[in-house]
Amino acid sequence: MRDVLCTELPFPFSNSNADVYNSISICISHKIADGYSLSKFLNDWAATNRELDFEPSTQFDAASFFPPMDDPPVIPDVVREQCVSRMFNISSYSLGKLKDIVSTNSGIQLALKLLQHLFINVDSTTTTEDEIELAHVVAQLRKAKQHQRDKLKDMSPDKIALHALESINVGVNIILERNYDPYMYSSLCNKGLYKTDFGWGKPISVTLARSPMKNNIVFLDDPSGEGINALITLTEADMLIFQSNKELLEFASPVAYSPERGPSSNPT
């Protein structure tokens, strides 16, 4: 899987037709890096560009923590469908309102639990009314997280990577066999991407290219640094239901989104 990260720099050039903004696009494979590693690499790269005597902190030593496997599990591909991507902003005010419902101070956890609650509503034909309640969703998430903590706390570091791959493999096979509809979440919040400065100024927006996979959600810092942007990819039919959900619109606002230009404050 590859992600394309796009950052828009703060100095426009004008021509007769439009303002053209300089930007940088980065394509990364998850085989070699995750979001945090990408952020560290970008910030070290930028600092090296500004300061010739800068010593990068990034070290390419993951193999010493997660030894390579001779015969890793093969993870089957998930069928890809025609999808659309939309971005929604959850403001700091909305996060504050959510704290009154869910007992956590983590903005990412609040946004995650809200969206999981709403996605259950999208597929409410197979879900009971009690299961749709936000409190029920939160309780199930906490139970699952604690189960993983208990399972991993005594595991040696050299076994964790294999365990993760095997767990993913089992999960994907269950999804394919039972025709489940999984939702995948990741976060690039609080990774310092808005601090990346190659000497031309810090970016005014950071976003991702559209995901080719349905039910994919990525959380990003909003440009103000106070709220959270959620880049959501669903099938066209599911997006029509999701984006008109009254509970969604109570806490989140649609944001004009372009993978080439990033998020804008203008609603779609």
Active site residue 197: yes
* pLDDT 10s digits, 129-169: 454 455 566 677 778 778 878 888 888 777 777 777 778 77
Query: pLDDT tier at 16 (50, 70, 90 boundaries)?
Result: very low
Of the residues 77, 158, 197, 221, only one is catalytic, namely 197
Q: Where are the beta strands (DSSP E) in the chain?
A: 2-14, 19-29, 83-90, 184-187, 205-208, 216-221, 228-235, 253-258, 262-264
Q: How far is residue 85's CA from residue 255's CA, in Å, rounded to a whole number?
A: 11
Fold of 2-264: Chloramphenicol Acetyltransferase (3.30.559)
Query: pLDDT tier at 72 (50, 70, 90 boundaries)?
Result: low
Q: What is the pTM for the complete model shown?
A: 0.74
Of the residues 30, 147, 163, 181, only one is catalytic, namely 30
Active site residue 30: yes
The mean of the pLDDT values for the chain is 76
* pLDDT 10s digits, 224-263: 888 899 999 999 999 998 998 888 888 899 987 765 555 5
* pLDDT 10s digits, 23-51: 778 887 777 778 888 888 889 999 998 88
Comparing 131 with 193, the larger pLDDT belongs to 193
Task: Name residue 115's amino acid.
Answer: L
